Amino acid sequence: MDCDIFLVGLNHRTAGVDVRERFALVNCCDPEHWALPCTGAVSESVILSTCNRVELLAAGTGDVPGQMLECWAGARGARVEELAPYVYVHKNLEAVRHLFSVASSLDSMVLGEPQILGQLKTAYRKAVQSHATGVILNRLLHKAFSVAKRVRTETAVASSAVSISYAAVELAKRIFGDMHGHKALLVGAGEMAELAAMHLLQAGIDEILVANRTLVRGQELARQFQGRAVPLDSMAVHLTSVDIIITSTGSQEPIIRARDIRAVLKARKNRPMFFIDIAVPRDIDPDVNGLDNVYLYDIDDLKEVVEENLASRRDEAAKAAEIVNEEVLAFSHWLSSLDVQPTIVALIERSERMAQEELAKTLKRLGPVDEETREALEALVGSLVRKMNHDPIMFLKNGGMAQEGNGQRISLTRRVFGLDKTDCKYMEEQ
């Protein structure tokens, strides 16, 4: 294929958060500020910029990676030399494979996380709005979305909890089943509490209370999740009305003890309580777990769940990788097929041009001939051209979209017959 596909990027593996922040392109993806214009070597482009990766996808001819790096660095007011040490470059099918892996969350920091697919769809939508995509990248991105769907449908790569906060909520769902009709209390208002609140809402929890040493921060978190903030020193009052308690404070001493919960259980008429302690040091005295109708998990318990689930996801990731390989092969056949029709046309045009040139020479040598003779010679030449082109055309067509080696067939035919292809014009698949 003369028009190549390139993916140039950096991610959480190649660059620290400071570098990712410096070269982020989240503000360079609208039509007015599109960071990778489709000029020069680049004919199509898509920009994906998230907290964990920045990736530029492009199709074109010539020094496409060089132009991509210059545009990227320039958009951030930096030199290419400052950016280059952190980037990877993939070309053609390796670029396709990487994109499919990203879309399927096989390249994510958290294997199987669902957010990246939505982020990729947003990136593609912005590229379309910026008139930056064409036949190649349109087809490639749509295929990436279908590959991601297939991975999620045919594997369990995203089926189990792989974060502490998510695992905590999943355990709560095992205890209570349907989360509707239940309340949760978050003790602490840090990042872990914020993630837990998000997962609780997604699970269908009725109400979230937030108790924090700094009431203002508690109010901020509660407001974010349509919850209610309560002072930390009045936490005991609210324990009787909540079913799930998740603690993540910085306290050096336990803030919940067994003696505090006995009275709460009596007031609740022994309705079950689920405690999740994700603080280090622990917020909840282990003795609490000895009480009837109380379920207590600490961060070590959750880590075991996470590790088990990660191992399961890694097994499923191997199945997902096979799907990606299959889809990369299918896309390669489509790419190859794009060149079949132009190659056939070029072959016919070349043959007809050469035939007409030779016919003109012959007629010149013969001198004046009658119209019947001229028509007979033209018919002979035309018949010879068709018959001589029949086998090479069948050779090309028999490669098809579903067989390996079509690209080699096209390349061989173009070399044998001297067909020079200088542009990057592709036809949509019919």
Q: Give me the amino acid identity at 60.
A: G
Report the relative pairing of strands 244-247 and 273-277 from DSSP bridges.
parallel
* Backbone phi, psi, residue 217, to 5°: -65, -40
What SS3 class is residue 298?
A: strand
Distance CA 77, CA 96 (A): 29
Q: Which residues of 257-289 are buried (b: 16+ CB within 10 A; e: fewer)?
A: ebebbeebbeebeeeebbbbbbbeebbbbeebe
DSSP labels, 1-40: --SEEEEEEEETTTS-HHHHHHT--TTS-SGGG-SS-S-T
Distance CA 398, CA 413 (A): 13
Residue 127 gets the label, from left (phi > 0), alpha (psi -120 to 50) or beta, of alpha
Q: Is 71 a catalytic residue?
A: no
Distance CA 28, CA 32 (A): 8
DSSP labels, 140-194: HHHHHHHHHHHHHHH--TTSS--SHHHHHHHHHHHHHSS-TT-EEEEES-SHHHH
Distance CA 58, CA 13 (A): 22
Q: Which of 3, 51, 71, 424 is catalytic?
A: 51
| Continuous H helices in 270-425 | 299-338, 340-366, 371-397, 406-416
Question: Hey, what are 103's tokens?
Answer: 């879309």
DSSP labels, 195-262: HHHHHHHHHT-SEEEEEESSHHHHHHHHHHTT-EEEEGGGHHHHGGG-SEEEE----SS-SB-HHHHH
What SS3 class is residue 280?
A: coil
Question: Hey, what are 348's tokens?
Answer: 């016919």
Question: Hey, what are 426's tokens?
Answer: 């592709």
List, by residue number, the catalytic residues.
51
